[in-house]
Amino acid sequence: MKRVFVSLTLACAIFLLYGQTPDARVPVNFQEVMIPMRDSVRLQTVILSPKDPKGPLPFLIQRTPYGVPAKEAADRGMPAAARARYENYYVVTQNIRGRFKSEGKFVMGRPPHDPKDPKGVDETTDAWDTVDWLIKNIPNNNGRAGIAGTSYDGWTAVMAALDPHPALKAVIEQASPADQFLGDDFHHNGAFRLSYGFEYAALLETTSEENFHFPFDRADTYDWYLALGPLSNADEKYFHGKLPTWEDFNRHPNYDAFWQRLAFAPYLNSVKVPIMHVAGWWDQEDFYGPQRIYAGLEPHDTGHFNYFVAGPWNHGGWNRPGHRLGAIDFGSDTGAYYRDNIFQPWFDYWLRGHGELHQAEATTFETGTNQWKQYDAWPPKQGVDSRRLYFRDSRRLSFDAPTASAAAYDEYISDPANPVPYRPRPVPPTYPGPDWPVWLVQDQRFVDHRPDVLSWQTDPLTDAVHIAGDIVAELYASTTGTDADWAVKLIDVYPEDAADDPTTRTHLAGFELIIADEILRSRFRNSFERPEPVPANKVLKYAIDLHTNAHAFLKGHRIMVQVQSTWFPVYDRNPQKYIPNIWEAHAADYVKATQRIYRAPKTASAVVLPVVK
């Protein structure tokens, strides 16, 4: 639930400090105020306004835990690339409760207050009070406000939209988390995101006055987290019960009322303000959230106010130059396209009454062909067939169903003492380490010959395979343990004659690019609320949602699927022995297990692809 470059102190993500030369600046006025909330808590707020305003202006608001712009930065002027924003809006940045100079107590992902409590406060009420104060106290405004943000700030934007102030006319949430147990920052399908959760809790809750980076004493955090041992050691050795979010992880290992109250699903019952949801195909933090929030609101969108956008970005990549991500080139500046053709026109239309709205219901970037495409619904309801790509013998993938014997399977031994790294070692810290933002586009050949990673692939494609929509892995699997993790990656394998990338000097011949991925903790196969052991050596079917995507596997490329049971340290190690609360597991509970993936006619493991006709 965070933005990657928190150290930029937020003139920031949605207000776009990208690619600027020192003299390419827009002069602005700087004003810092403490806006009172309904319970008298005051929130530190910075208002940037044009030196020469032309008529009454709307407000464009960002509510964040990461800090507000400093006066020194404003005095130097704002980015010329965002000139339309700084000349035509009051640009407002506000620290939420308990962060920096804002009063009150910081609560990570503060849930909506009990509606029976007339004095209750939350991010929805704070947004309402902020808009109300701005409208009544800042002169020369046009009575309209919009809210936008990325990550945690995207989440506060959605919270504002749940019960919007009458003056709030439009919202853009970019990479907002939707459910912290099922698919966003801290868990995916119940599997705990160890390095992310550990370092993020330390980042925000060690002190209220700064963004804290945990001081690792090893260059390779893979070794550090492995030496940490069971999860309980984090409190014993380092946190000592002082970080509220880490304690919440400890106390709530399952999808109980605590996590359900934090999730958006119960509140997505109406669309009260025009809202756009923005996702990045390689978002390393909150890829699930925008898709889930859009889908949750869609059945209630009687006024056609609910929109979806997805592009070839990592977390916050729409705020930066978007020509490439890692070694992958997209042929154009996709970030500038979004900012100039989607973000700015959206707010100009709703807040200033300028222009016409030509926004499709869904706008997605098809990687591979590198083309923007528009749809009437997302996932598309027409022009797409669900086709199974089956696991076959000799590690092949085929659209033809298997005809092998009933006992056909591939197997590997999963050892928690030697987990599969999630990116090439050494693994630097998540924050402020440079590799975290791009790990999902790193070449997967560094693991595809490990004995505990299984890979299947097609022959070189004779025609391109275009996909648009939801991808699901159907695994028939067994384990000798009583719990297991199943991580699945859908990969585009480049041809052996692919040209090297001239910018990064990366060898793209045979490059293995993740297109979609996900993990499932087996104990939650039937219920996230009520986990249960896995019967050892029994073949079970697992349906793992790899979420939506838009990609073209080009002619000459191969399609690959990888399956593994550890992905460390971004995910904690499953003991592979059922422990009711993994947070209470001891070192002796972590055991090896033999995992089998079946590919017989009646147990035909496959990946279901939404193939464009």
What is the Cα Rg of the chain in Å?
A: 24
Residue 404: per-residue pLDDT: 67
Encode pLDDT of 453-491 as tens digits.
999 999 999 999 999 999 999 999 999 999 999 999 999
Choose the weakest-confidence range: 41-45, 83-87, 142-146, 516-520: 83-87
Percent of the chain with pLDDT over 70: 96
Confidence of residue 204 (pLDDT cuts 50, 70, 90): confident
Highest mean pLDDT among 81-85, 196-200, 489-493: 489-493
Residues forming a β-bridge with 559: 492
Residue 500: per-residue pLDDT: 82
Confidence of residue 406 (pLDDT cuts 50, 70, 90): low
Q: Give the other-Cβ count within 10 Å of 356's Cβ.
A: 7
Mean pLDDT, rounded, of the chain:
93
Considering the entire predicted model, what is its pTM? Answer: 0.94
What distance, in Å, lies between the first and last C-alpha atoms of the chain?
37
Residue 210: per-residue pLDDT: 78
Encode pLDDT of 268-286 as tens digits.
999 999 999 999 999 999 9
Superfamily of domain 384-612: Galactose-binding domain-like (2.60.120.260)
Give me the long-range contacts of 495-503 (CB less than 8 A, separation at least 24). 495/460, 495/556, 495/557, 501/327, 501/329, 503/324, 503/329
Choose the weakest-confidence range: 69-78, 153-162, 375-384, 595-604: 69-78
Residue 307: per-residue pLDDT: 98
Q: Is the pLDDT of residue 528 over 80?
A: yes
DSSP 368: T
DSSP structure string for 274-342: -EEEEEETT-SS-SHHHHHHHHHHGGG-TTS-EEEEEES-STTGGGS--SEETTEE-SS-HHHHHIIII
Encode pLDDT of 282-316 as tens digits.
999 999 999 999 999 999 999 999 999 999 999 99
Residue 16: per-residue pLDDT: 38
Tabulate helix, strand, coil % of the chain (nearest 5).
Answer: 25, 30, 45
Encode pLDDT of 561-571 as tens digits.
999 999 999 99
What is the rounded CA–CA span in Å between residue 475 and residue 297?
A: 30
Q: Is the pLDDT of residue 12 over 80?
A: no
How deeply is 405 buried, as exposed, middle or buried, from its count of CB atoms within 10 A (0-12, 13-18, 19+)?
A: exposed
Question: Once rounded to an integer, what is the mean pLDDT over residues 244-262?
Answer: 96
As a CATH number, domain 6-178+264-375 is 3.40.50.1820
What is the rounded CA–CA span in Å between residue 107 and residue 240?
A: 19
Q: Is the pLDDT of residue 22 over 80?
A: no
* Structure tokens belonging to residue 518: 């996900």
What is the rounded CA–CA span in Å between residue 62 and residue 45?
A: 10
Decide: 207 and 555 in contact? Cβ < 8 Å: no
Confidence of residue 13 (pLDDT cuts 50, 70, 90): very low
Choose the weakest-confidence range: 23-27, 389-393, 522-526, 534-538: 23-27
Q: Is the pLDDT of residue 123 over 60?
A: yes
* Structure tokens belonging to residue 167: 């003056």
Cα-based distances in Å from 541 to 73, 102, 461, 476, 525: 56, 50, 29, 4, 9
What is the rounded CA–CA span in Å between residue 51 and residue 86?
A: 9
Domains of the chain, by residue range, sit at 6-178+264-375, 384-612
Residue 431: per-residue pLDDT: 84
What is the rounded CA–CA span in Å between residue 286 and residue 147?
A: 19
